[in-house]
Amino acid sequence: MPYSSFVFDKSIEEIIRLLKPQTLLDLGTGAGKYGELAKKISPSTKLTAIEIEKDYIKKFRLLSIYDEVWNISVTDLINPKYYDSNFDVIMIGDIIEHLKKSDGIDLLNFLIYRCRWIILEFPHHYLQNSVDGYHSEAHISVWTKDDFVSFERTQLYEKDTQRLVVLRGYLENKTSVAGVESVISEYE
């Protein structure tokens, strides 16, 4: 489904408010929920979307939400064309489970060098196959807290069938992991 869970919406909103990103990359944009959220909080944030399904770009009017929409697979980012692309925040909302585990790990390792923060929300024990003929909607990998131990990060938050973790990127950063956790713990 091109829609993300609402379970951690308030925490994600407050994280974005705390981090005040000038640039945000939204991976697997779907209906554009996180772009709309970021735009509401900070209208001047430059928003870039990646959406693999061309129909979704038109159907969900993504060009009216984002400054740029790239119609590529998120795994296509690992390409010299994007080596110099940096972002304050990268939002990975309900998409990492759609990737082969090895591709997801490669993607995280690539992105951590190109951002200040990665906000990562994903389902746990939530079965989903192709939806309306879109094979990209199928869940094909399982993620646990052990998958993030090599990153500086918040704890893994669990609520209903959803999980939330925030990874600290390698770009210069004045906000601490503890600062991000304090915002999350207010709502979880």
The string of pLDDT tens digits covering residues 47-88 is: 999 998 899 999 999 999 999 999 999 999 999 999 999 999
pLDDT for 156-171, tens place per residue? Answer: 998 988 889 999 999 9
- Stated as kind and residue range, the H or E segment containing 17 is helix 9-19
User: Binning pLDDT at 50, 70 and 90, where does residue 134 land?
Assistant: low
Q: For the chain, which residues make up each domain, given as ranges?
A: 9-185
- Stated as kind and residue range, the H or E segment containing 33 is helix 33-41
Q: Distances in Å between the alpha carbon of 19 and those of 2, 75, 98, 166?
A: 26, 25, 27, 12
What pTM did the predictor assign?
Answer: 0.91
Whether the pLDDT of residue 131 is over 60: the answer is: no
Question: 9-185 has which fold?
Answer: Rossmann fold (3.40.50)
Rounded to 5 degrees, what are φ and ψ at 74? -60, -30
